Chains A and B, each alone.
Chain A
Amino acid sequence: MNKKVMVVGGGIAGLSAALELSQKNIQVELVEKSCFLGGKAIGFTCKATDKCQQCGACLVEEVLRDVVGQSNINIHLRTEIDSVVKNGKFKVKLKKSDSIPKEDKVLTGFSKYNSPYKVVIGTPQDSKDGVNIDELGTQGELDVDAIIIATGFTPFDPTARATYGYGTWENVITALELENMLRSEVKVIKPSNKQRAKKIGFIQCVGSRNKEFNSVWCSEVCCPYALRMASMIKYRYPDTEIWIFFIDIQNVGKNYLSFLEQINSEVKFVTATPIDIFPDKEDKVRVAYKDDIEDKRILEPFDLVVLSVGIMPNEDNKVLSKMINIDLSEDGFFREIDLMEPNLTSQEGIFLAGTTTGPKDILNTISHAKSAVCETLTYLGGKK
């Protein structure tokens, strides 16, 4: 099949879709806005204890390596879509993205076109082997037969929850940052003094299930990642004390019952939504919450507080949706044409993959991306 498909987004959804297409001998144009492939998930840590906890983080690395090794995938990093015109095929205008990665937040996979996969710690400019950021970015027009939208999500910005002090208090971090920390440092560090954090508090549902923030959905991934990280930290550093503040615990994995039994013996669960977080004189962060049973306010000190931020629609969705003429749902995610058609859109030839349609974990994202490819192939096969 002499066809070309554009995949927009180089996270786990886009990578899975690109790999699947390339294995079916379809030429792929993989467009990624940032300077890196792998999206959010490439920074996630393995959460194995003495056994695998089925988070799927390892699969992201493997898919990424495979994608970079394929000769029929053209990778356009630091590239955005400027316009899309449909005339049987799609004429897509690409432009160099203005977005530059934030300093010190870069830990992920890196590659230019089909050069060997390169991991760069630090900013690309710092690395002797990395590609200069200014060299990245594709300008120009491409004709493609179909488009897969795999632009993923934007994590909830916890500064919106002002009393939690994210960005103000050093020892309040997001769960994404904890994932990255565990992957690169292999232990949990208290940012203020670089010592190991011995008492950690997780706060669930930061941004999710919240009418006030207009996010009336469960992000589905936060209980699994928080509980799995908690369990993994306890396994490696049994002297760590972990508390989890929650509204409702969601099921984690297929063996939820035995997992729950185990995690209940390892961490302290508190049914409460903390009101306030602030540091004290001993370099601890205090979490203020109301104990409903005792009916009093409690100030619990922690070395580190981890905010389990939820999955929000990608902030670029509005612009992109206008460009490709596909409606967003009232929540701001891309909308499937029908509940029973998980990958189809109102535009023939444009398909959806991954968290662009709503919260999904790594495994469901891979599965969704594969079905998007299947639908794309069916479309290409039927199209003369």
Chain B
Amino acid sequence: MIEININPDVLVIGGGMAGIMAAQRIRKQGYSLSILDQGQGFEPDACYKMESSSYYSQTIEELKKDPSITWIKEAQISKVEGRYGDFKVYFKSGTKVEKKNFGAVVIATPYSYVPVFDEYGVEPDHNIFSVNHLSKLLSENKAPKGTCVFLTTFKEETNPVSFKNIILNAIELGNSGSNVYIFVKNVKAASPGLEKLILHAKENGIVIIKSDKPPQLIVENKCPNVIFYDPLIKKDIQISADYVIIEDKIIPNEKNQEISDLFGIHTDSNGFLQTNNVRRIPVFTNRKGIFVVGSAAGIKPLPYILTDAIDASCEIQGLIKEGGKVEIEETISIDQEKCVRCLTCYRVCPHGAIYWDVDRVAISSLVCEGCGICSAECPMNAIQIKEYSDDKIKGQLKDILKSKGDGPTIIGFCCKNSAFEAVKGAKDLGVDLPEGFKVIKVPCAGKIDVDYVLEALVKGADGVIIGACYKDNCKSEKGNIFASYRIENLKKSLAQIGINPNRVELLHVASNMPREFCLKLKELTEKITDITS
């Protein structure tokens, strides 16, 4: 048993809609918190302003009266140390640096925007501006009047959040007497209540023009003309616009990369702070105790920002409880005698569980998810996961191969999150697994050491199959990728020493597809049997 101290304070990063919602919900759970604004100010995200700025202002007023909230304005994070239970965060404001400790962190950075003027080859002007600028004019009661044309992004297509905002702006323009046209490739309706809103807009005279290609925008004598092809009458049509309003493309906050680096959080390919992986649903990141809410994780309709905020507060409650000392069991250990301080484990750990402790490498059992990537990658075999130690796995191998029958024996190292579940499912379904197929459960494909595969072959297995999750479905993000590159390399080595490399194969599978897994398994075992017989 190890004793660990959990700090009960929470840090929320971001003062936009997601940040304020998260803060409100976390306070409701009774935790003290600090809210950091990195310079964007405390105001609702522009894309939600029309939808619910009153909710935002009410909430923030309520929070401002709360003495348990510390507001950190216009500061940057310069350094982050520690782990779940005890993060040390250094805030820099001007030349002043202040350190604060937190038990958990909620990242709720607001969106950033890029108006797509480039797409239409124009510069902003008094009569050509962005949707966000229009919202501002509307809020100041300076609604432009005349013929207004909204141009959405055609290059990347819009999304339900931007589109809803455009519709809301359009309705308000329409209400103040303007003729409104919206050009869009696909109408984005996939958001609660949006289809009704679109219908309402249409009934109020707003014209939505769908087109495969973006309309042309030609500015003559400062007058914008929008020209588009009407496929029904097979003619170009021109609208002389008084105002052209250009979509603000929603992009991830520009600070996200910095936060990703500081906290060791993986991003998706767009730059949002949650990988595109169902295992992270709803608010999880690759690091325990660090959660993402709403706009930090992806483009989400407002109701889902709220469920994220509630979910994060609930997860924090589950992790921190009342704070203070907790006892945990040691689940993973490093043999300091064997360790050569190469830091391979530190580099490969997807969960930030490994750290440098004065003069040696340490692993936090509190943070460790037990995937075992470090243990398989360690060149000195110095790291052991208690539940899946090398001795235990090799012991299982020995037992299986001892009672080897006449037919071929194929060892299946199966990830507990996918292949192992599929095997269980097959058994429940009564689907026959290939004869001689023996399963060894592993916590992640990333745990499968090349040594295990070699040992299986040496001890008499005819083949080895590694059952891994699909790419982008690994609970530890990269366990399956480590597995596939190890197997690839192993196959090359096997070929060099004269062993048919096709005796070892890696199979990707989902836990809910037992039949498919059995079909693939059958095919492979037949192939392996052909090789060895």
Contacts and interface: CB of A to CB of B under 8 A. Distances in A.
> Is the A/B pair a real complex?
yes
B183 interface: no
A238 interface: no
A272 interface: no
Contacts of A250: 160, 186, 188-190
A56 B189 contact: no
A61 to B, nearest CB: 4
Contacts of B179: none
A42 B55 CA distance: 37
A28 to B, nearest CB: 16
Contacts of A340: 52, 55, 306
Interface stretch (B213-221, B264-272, B332-340): B264-272
A259 B237 CA distance: 32
Interface string A54-84: 1111111110010000000000000000000
A309 B302 CA distance: 25
A255 B157 CA distance: 12
B188 A367 contact: no
Nearest to A250: B190
A248 B429 contact: no
Contacts of A209: 189, 195
Contact of B281 (A56, A57, A374): A56
B355 interface: no
B327 interface: no
Contacts of B187: 247-248
A251 B307 contact: no
Interface stretch (B61-69, B456-464, B510-518): B510-518
A30 interface: no
B512 A61 contact: yes
A250 B157 CA distance: 10
B195 A186 contact: no
Contacts of B516: 46, 186
Interface string B412-436: 0000011001001100110000000
A235 B421 CA distance: 24
A339 B28 contact: no
A228 interface: no
A249 B270 CA distance: 21
Contact of A61 (B157, B278, B421, B469): B421
B232 interface: yes
B405 interface: no
B428 A366 contact: no
Interface stretch (A114-122, A135-143, A280-288, A296-304): A114-122
A1 interface: no
A63 B417 CA distance: 12
Given A186-B515, A218-B190, A254-B272, A374 B311 contact: yes
Interface stretch (B74-82, B470-478, B490-498): B470-478
Interface in A102-138: 117-119, 121
A58 B281 contact: no
A358 B199 CA distance: 18
B278 A371 contact: no
A216 B199 contact: yes
Interface residues of A, number: 66
Contacts of A279: none
B276 A255 contact: yes
Contacts of A254: 268-270, 272, 276, 298
Given A58-B512, A375-B310, A255 B269 contact: yes
Interface string B9-53: 000000000000000000011000000000000000000000010
B253 interface: no
Nearest to B303: A342
Most buried by A among B28, B302, B311: B311
Contacts of B311: 367, 370-371, 374
A81 to B, nearest CB: 25
B197 to A, nearest CB: 10
B298 A251 contact: no
A61 B318 contact: no
B3 to A, nearest CB: 23
Interface in A361-384: 363-364, 366-368, 370-371, 373-375, 377-378
A59 to B, nearest CB: 6
A256 interface: yes
B308 interface: yes
A175 B187 CA distance: 22
Interface string A162-182: 000000000000000000000
Contacts of B348: none
A209 B469 CA distance: 36
Given A62-B511, A370-B314, A374-B313, A218 B189 contact: yes
Given A46-B516, A51-B472, A216 B195 contact: yes
A220 interface: yes
A245 to B, nearest CB: 14
A253 to B, nearest CB: 7
Contacts of B429: 119, 121
Contacts of A366: 281-282
Nearest to B21: A340
A42 B508 CA distance: 20
B471 A50 contact: yes
A56 B425 contact: no
B140 interface: no
Contacts of B176: none
B469 A52 contact: yes
Interface in B111-162: 156-157, 159-160
A292 interface: yes
17 contacts: A45-B513, A48-B510, A52-B471, A58-B278, A58-B512, A61-B425, A183-B512, A183-B513, A186-B513, A216-B195, A218-B195, A250-B186, A251-B190, A253-B276, A255-B270, A367-B307, A374-B314
Given A61-B425, A217-B193, A293-B231, 15 more contacts: A48-B470, A50-B471, A51-B471, A54-B277, A62-B512, A119-B428, A183-B513, A186-B519, A216-B199, A253-B276, A292-B231, A366-B282, A367-B281, A370-B311, A378-B28
- The 3 A-B pairs of least Cβ separation, nearest first, read A46-B510, A367-B282, A374-B314
